[in-house]
Structure formats: C-alpha cells, structure tokens
Amino acid sequence: MLEDKVAIITGGTRGIGFATAKKFLENGAKVVIFGTKVQSVNEAVEKLKTLNNKYDVIGFYPNLTCESEIKNIFEEIEKKYGKIDILVNNAGISSKTKIEEYTEEEYDQISNLNIKAVFTCSKLVIPYLKKTKGVILNTSSMVSIYGQTAGVMYPASKFAVNGITKSLSRELAPYGIRVNAIAPGIIETDMVKNLPKEIIEPLIKTIPLGRIGTPEDIANGFLFLASDLASYVTGEILSIDGAARS
C-alpha cells in the first residue's frame, strides 16, 4: 500500500510509533524514525531490521522544536532517498497533574513537544510534500474531544493538534497535500501494561468493544490515511477508541 514511499515517524522507537513504522515497512515504505536518544533509536532500528533484514529503515534523534536541526535532517533524508512522502507527528507526552500543581517547566515541556514540535516538523516538511503531493498525519487523543479529569495541558495540546490538522488540511489542499489525525482511545502501551488489574478491568468495562486497543490498531489507521485508499480524505480526526466515550 505504500510501495517506495518515504515516511518519517516522530516518536518511532516504541508504542504507536514503532507499530506504525513496522506497518509501513511491511507495506513497502522506506522509514525514518525519530526518537529522543541515540540508544533507543538504534535499538528500534535494529529490532525492525531483525524482523526483516530487507527493511529500509534508519533513525535520528533530533530536538523536534529546533528548526535548524530538523531542516538539516530533512535535507539529509531527501539526499538519501530523493524525496519525502509522509510525515507522522507522533511524539508526545501525557500528563495527569492537577492544575494547581502544574509548574512552568511541565507546561512548557508539554507545549513544546505536543504542539511546537508538530508545528515545526509540519512547517519544514511542506516544501518536500509539495513535490510529492504527500501526507501529514498527527497523533491526537480521545481526550482532545472529551477532555480529562486532570492534566489539563495534555488535552489542551491535543485540541491544538486537531486545530493544526484541520487548518493545514485547508491551507495545503491546493498543493495536493492531505492532513489528517488519529485520536486513539485507551491503548496497550508500556504504561498501560504495567497498570494493576484493579485499574485495568474497570477501564475495559467502559469500552463497548470490550477490550483495550493495541498499537497495531492505530498503525492500521495510519496506514489507511497514508495510502491512496484515503486520497479524498483530509482534515479528519479519526477516532480509534472502541467507541469509548468518556
């Protein structure tokens, strides 16, 4: 479905990002994963190559809010592969902090990674996507629609991601660039796996489909949105949450 496409995935070393990298590689893409540390990036690349030594995957560990760093890496990627077709803005951090306990540092950390990084990477990839009529995909969250009981900056940042998605879809449509997002529900990430049964079981009861989602569920959504099957889909926030509405 993505034969010979070149895809960049931020936050690609684990969870949803890693599953998306794997899914894209299985479908013929060349994949560049971004992570925070050289060790985690190298380990993720090696793990993917162990699955299939023919996979064309490389990694970087840039500061996602630094324009000069991202600009240089995008230039390097185009030099290596000749083009860029897909950007998946997946990197992000969550929060459960009560508003009265927020520090400036935590506010800035969430805002920088969840909003500024999406803005910066999207801004700098546009010249490449104009050439390929490419795709920008963003990871939002179900809390961007419903909010949550604490950690206000996390849903606020994901509301912003939705706004970026919808606005850029309109701004970039004349260039043939599509922009969409996925709003995952409760997903079986490392953090969720480590929760005790007394927390997990009540969570599952709130999901009409009767199970927690997997990173692969989200990766399948990204595969569809990145592919030509979604050639007339743009500006959408696709909920993948098992009909969980909370």
Write the CATH number for 10: 3.40.50.720
Q: Is 245 inside any structural domain?
A: no
Q: Is 65 inside any structural domain?
A: yes
Question: Tokens standing for 222?
Answer: 């990204």
Residue pLDDT, tens place only, 162-212? 999 999 999 999 999 999 999 999 999 876 777 678 878 888 888 999 999
Euclidean distance between CA atoms 170 and 206, whole angstroms: 35
By residue count, the chain amounts to 246
Question: Tokens standing for 139?
Answer: 């990871």
Q: Is 1 inside any structural domain?
A: no
Euclidean distance between CA atoms 41 and 163, whole angstroms: 30
Q: Is 193 inside any structural domain?
A: yes
Domain range spanning residue 167? Answer: 6-240
Tens place of pLDDT per residue across the chain (246 aa): 999 999 999 999 999 999 999 999 999 999 999 999 999 999 999 999 999 999 999 999 999 999 999 999 999 999 999 999 999 999 999 999 999 999 999 999 999 999 999 999 999 999 999 999 999 999 999 999 989 999 999 999 999 999 999 999 999 999 999 999 999 999 998 767 776 788 788 888 889 999 999 999 999 999 999 999 999 999 999 999 999 865
Active site residue 107: no
Euclidean distance between CA atoms 177 and 168, whole angstroms: 9
Q: Is 107 inside any structural domain?
A: yes
What's the whole-model pTM score? 0.96
Per-chain mean pLDDT for the chain: 95
Euclidean distance between CA atoms 63 and 36, whole angstroms: 8
Under 8 Å between Cβ of 87 and 129? yes
> Of the residues 55, 61, 128, 154, which is catalytic?
154
pLDDT of 190: 75
Task: Specify the number of domains making up the chain.
Answer: 1
Q: Coil, helix or strand for 58? A: strand
Amino acid at 114: N
Q: Is 246 inside any structural domain?
A: no
